[in-house]
Amino acid sequence: MARNAVGKICFVLPMIAAIGVATTWNQDLFSQETQRQNVNFRIDNRIVAENQVINGVTIFQDNRVYDYLGEHGAITIYDAKNGMMTLLDPSCRLQTKFKISELAKYAEKRKEACLKSDNFFLNYLAAPYFEDEQYEAESGIMTFRSAWAEYRFETVRFDDVGVSERYYDFCKQLTLLNIRVSRMPSPMIRAALNPILEQHRRFPGKVSMTLYPKGKVILAGSVLQIETTHVFVRRLQPADENRIRQAKKFQELFRELPPDDYVREVNSK
């Protein structure tokens, strides 16, 4: 997939955004308790947007999370212990690092800028709201609708507190990173929805998102639709270990740039 095309949607998932189940849809995941830092698992991801399909994987290993966008796309490494996010671009052989504290400050600044904008959609992004919220406990379907955005989640419940905390901690930090580097508006909306999903301890196996930047008016180019599906895999495989070793090697080899220089150079490709 072309770099420009990837750049438009590569940070859409707050991984992203959704989790499916490798066994059955009707059973709760992980009935036993586990220690948060010792839970290792993988999520296989599929994104469909603008007639393109991106397959990726997110690996939770010990205190780190490795998120791979496509076979040769960007790699994000979340180091929870040190409060850092590393972003690797194999196509440019570049990397950069973000402090979580700085990402949080940037997100607040971007919200303030949206509030001051003359664009009504940007005003909405600063404080997203939904006139219609529905949660069907039996089916696990959650829907959120407003004049600017619609979300539909097909979810299952996690009973494992350790997995739930690890997953939503990563969601929160990845959403902050997406707000920092993405030109897409959706991460700011997901920042408002993730706490609701976390409250119910629901994990989306499928997410359908529709944005209306001009409001719900049918105009050419005014609607953006993205669908994501995800599969939860309980145990890591040798291929996952190979991916992690590759990411660590990239960290050793790739040239490191300050965040602004990194974003500018990667987006110019």
pLDDT score for 38: 60
Q: Are strands 94-99 and 255-256 parallel, antiparallel or unpaired?
A: parallel
Confidence of residue 50 (pLDDT cuts 50, 70, 90): confident
Around Cβ 50, how many Cβ atoms within 10 Å?
10
> Would you say residue 33 has pLDDT above 60?
no
This prediction's pTM? 0.83
What pLDDT, in 10s, does the model give residues 101-151? 999 999 999 999 999 999 999 999 999 999 999 999 889 999 999 999 999
Helix (H, G, I), strand (E, B) or coil at 42: strand
Q: Phi and psi dihedrals of 35, rounded to 5?
A: -80, 130
Strand partners, 211: 149, 224
